[in-house]
Structure 1
C-alpha cells in the first residue's frame, strides 16, 4: 500500500490559505478605495432578488 505524501498535502493547504488571504486582502483594498456612496459586488448580484421588508417602524 502506498504511503500518504503528507508534505504534498501540507503544501497544498498552505497554498490554499495563501490564495484565500490574498483574495481577502484584495477585497478589503477594493472596499477601502470604493467611494462611500457605491455598494459592494454582493448588492449587484442580488438585484434580481426580492427587496427586503422594511424594518419595524420604518414603513
Structure 2
C-alpha cells in the first residue's frame, strides 16, 4: 500500500509542476505580446528615417573566397 500513496504523491507533484510551467508560459506570452505592442508603436515614432531607408547591395564573393571556406574533402 505504501507504493500507491507514493505514486499518488508523485502524480500530485508532477501536476503541480505542470501547472506552474503553464502559468510561467502564459506570463511569458503576455510579456512578449506587450513588448511587441510597445515596439511596434515606438518604432513609428523613434526611427522615421529608418522606415524609408533600404540596405545597400552586397558584392558577391569571388570563386576563390567561396571555396576557401570549405574544408578539404
User: 1:10 maps to what in 2?
Assistant: 11
* Structure with the larger helix share: 2
- In the alignment, the residues of structure 2 paired with residue 36 and residue 21 of structure 1 have an alpha-carbon distance, to the nearest angstrom, of 25
Q: Separation in 2 of the partners of 1:11 and 1:26?
A: 23
- CA displacement, residues 14-34 of structure 1 (integer Å, 9 cap, x when unaligned): 000000000000000011011
Rounded to whole Å, the distance in 2 between the matches of 1:30 and 1:3 is 44
- In 1, distance between residues paired with 2:39 and 2:26? 19
Higher alpha-carbon Rg: 2
TM-score (norm 1): 0.54
Aligned length, in residue pairs: 38
Cα root mean square deviation, aligned: 2.4
Unaligned runs of 5+ in 2: 41-57, 59-73
Q: Which has the higher contact order (CA 8 A, sep 6+)?
A: 1
Give the gaps of 5 or more residues in structure 1.
38-56
TM-score by length of 2: 0.44
